[in-house]
């Protein structure tokens, strides 16, 4: 970060070198052909210049082998770029099985982050070194974009659906977080920092915070307080008005209209906000919508709870469908007994706030 002439941002994630290598290769290939073509133009200008005013040009036919050569070689280069780029792309967008899920919600003009065990912060993300982190991203208003140059990751945050990205930090330090999608007057101030800490320091930091309930515990509370439990209670032998949610997450769900869908984040989200869109086979469309009654943060908590009912949450099985499997966020050290659930509208906690503002990197 102290380089006098920084061509590149810091390289601090497991994949940043792959991205840089790909980028460097493209620059080199482009450079090579730019120099070659420009050089040949200049050389031919001199070599085949008109030598006296009456000179008339004559037709030249390029040899067939030459034509084939200069078609096949660029094709080969393009195919290599395609394969290489695809490989890096898949690595960037497929979180590893051991990734722990954090949530970041964009709103004009801040990032609200929640850790799996309940810790919240604004415009700051404290994270342990070496741990793969999957960020589930949602927006409360317009499109934002979560961009961490040092990790070489950028992902649009779109209202009405979940997107995600993942990274594994390889260097401790404080890194820029930007919003990379113009989102209103204070877009340029929608910045923050990613603070990568040694795992032990991170544990200390977590322990020093006011904590709060874990995502799953908060979701479980909501499940009761919103009365979801009255219809979705698991009770063997008795048919409820709604399907039991045990073991649903990550599984294939048969719908009333004959389709089959995978119960992932976006499916559960839609089923809460627009319950009649995908009614489970064998049930009536009697569920009311919770649109407007539940915040984005509460939605993510509810979904964490539904996931914890398994099977994906209970036993992180490798590769079922395209849904990346996150570790169970239920466990973890901070089983904070005393502190009540924090108000969803005031997600600041003192630790995050002070650290955040104290360590905020200089703007630009």
Q: Which is nearer to ligand CUA, 190 or 268 (CB)?
A: 190
Helices (H), the chain: 16-47, 64-93, 199-208, 215-225, 228-232, 265-273, 296-308, 350-358
* Cα–Cα distance, 140 to 95 (Å, whole number): 24
* Cα–Cα distance, 95 to 323 (Å, whole number): 10
In the complex, the smallest distance separating the C-beta of residue 108 from ligand CUA, rounded to whole angstroms, is 7
In the complex, the smallest distance separating the C-beta of residue 154 from ligand CUA, rounded to whole angstroms, is 12
* Cα–Cα distance, 118 to 344 (Å, whole number): 11
Chain residues that interact with ligand CUA, rule: CB under 6 A:
106, 109, 144, 179, 181-183, 187, 190
For residue 24, how many C-alpha atoms fall within 13 Å in the half-sphere facing its CB? 8
In the complex, the smallest distance separating the C-beta of residue 147 from ligand CUA, rounded to whole angstroms, is 9
Q: Which is nearer to ligand CUA, 111 or 305 (CB)?
A: 111
Provide the 10 A C-beta neighbour count for residue 251.
Answer: 15
Residues 156/28/45/47 CA torsion (nearest 10 deg): -160
Q: Which is nearer to ligand CUA, 99 or 110 (CB)?
A: 110
Quote the crossing angle between the two packed helices 296-308 and 215-225, to the nearest 10°: 100
Q: Which is nearer to ligand CUA, 44 or 182 (CB)?
A: 182
R_g of the chain computed on alpha carbons: 27
Instruction: Give, rounded to a whole angstrom, the gap between the first and last alpha carbons of the chain.
Output: 13
Q: Which is nearer to ligand CUA, 122 or 314 (CB)?
A: 122
In the complex, the smallest distance separating the C-beta of residue 73 from ligand CUA, rounded to whole angstroms, is 42
In the complex, the smallest distance separating the C-beta of residue 102 from ligand CUA, rounded to whole angstroms, is 18
In the complex, the smallest distance separating the C-beta of residue 261 from ligand CUA, rounded to whole angstroms, is 31
Q: Which is nearer to ligand CUA, 183 or 216 (CB)?
A: 183
Q: DSSP string of 223-259?
A: HHHTTHHHHH---TTS--SS---TTTBTSEEEBTTS-
Q: Which is nearer to ligand CUA, 179 or 194 (CB)?
A: 179
In the complex, the smallest distance separating the C-beta of residue 146 from ligand CUA, rounded to whole angstroms, is 9
* Cα–Cα distance, 287 to 279 (Å, whole number): 9
Q: Which is nearer to ligand CUA, 157 or 303 (CB)?
A: 157
Contacts of 215 (CB under 8 A, 6+ apart): 103, 114, 116, 117, 118, 300, 301, 304, 305, 329
Q: Which is nearer to ligand CUA, 148 or 190 (CB)?
A: 190
DSSP state of 310: S
In the complex, the smallest distance separating the C-beta of residue 100 from ligand CUA, rounded to whole angstroms, is 25
In the complex, the smallest distance separating the C-beta of residue 275 from ligand CUA, rounded to whole angstroms, is 30
DSSP state of 288: P
How far, CA to CA in Å, does 233 sit from each of 102, 224, 239, 244?
A: 27, 10, 10, 6
């Amino acid at each position: 970060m102290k380089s006098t002439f920084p061509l590149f941002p810091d390289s601090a994630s497991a994949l940043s070198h792959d991205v840089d290598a790909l980028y460097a290769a493209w620059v080199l290939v482009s450079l090579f052909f730019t120099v070659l073509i420009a050089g040949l133009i200049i050389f031919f200008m001199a070599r085949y210049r008109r030598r006296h005013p009456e000179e008339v040009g004559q037709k030249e036919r390029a040899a067939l082998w030459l034509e084939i050569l200069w078609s096949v070689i660029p094709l080969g280069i393009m195919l290599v770029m395609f394969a290489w780029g695809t490989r890096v792309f898949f690595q960037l967008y497929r979180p590893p099985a051991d990734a722990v899920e954090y949530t970041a919600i964009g709103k004009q003009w801040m990032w609200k982050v929640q850790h799996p065990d309940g810790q919240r912060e604004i415009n700051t993300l404290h994270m342990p070194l070496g741990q793969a982190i999957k960020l589930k991203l949602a927006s409360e208003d317009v499109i934002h974009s979560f961009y961490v140059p040092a990790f070489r990751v950028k992902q649009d945050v779109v209202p009405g659906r979940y997107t995600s990205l993942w990274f594994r930090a390889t260097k401790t330090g404080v890194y820029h977080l930007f919003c990379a999608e113009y989102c209103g007057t204070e877009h340029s101030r929608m910045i923050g920092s990613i603070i990568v800490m040694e795992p032990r320091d991170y544990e200390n930091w977590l322990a020093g915070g006011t904590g709060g309930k874990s995502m799953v515990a908060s979701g479980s509370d909501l499940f009761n307080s919103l009365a979801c439990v009255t219809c979705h209670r698991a009770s063997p032998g008795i048919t409820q008005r709604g399907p039991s949610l045990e073991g649903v997450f990550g599984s294939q769900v048969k719908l009333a209209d004959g389709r089959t869908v995978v119960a992932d984040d976006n499916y559960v989200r839609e089923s809460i906000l627009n319950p009649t869109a995908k009614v489970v086979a064998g049930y009536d469309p009697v569920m009311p919508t919770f649109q407007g009654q539940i915040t984005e943060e509460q939605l993510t908590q509810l979904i964490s709870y539904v996931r914890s009912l398994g099977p994906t949450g209970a036993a992180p099985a490798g590769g079922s469908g395209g849904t990346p499997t996150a570790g169970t966020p239920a466990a973890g050290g901070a089983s904070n007994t005393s502190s009540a659930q924090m108000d969803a509208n005031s997600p600041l906690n003192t630790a995050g706030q002070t650290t955040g503002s104290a360590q905020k990197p200089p703007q630009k």
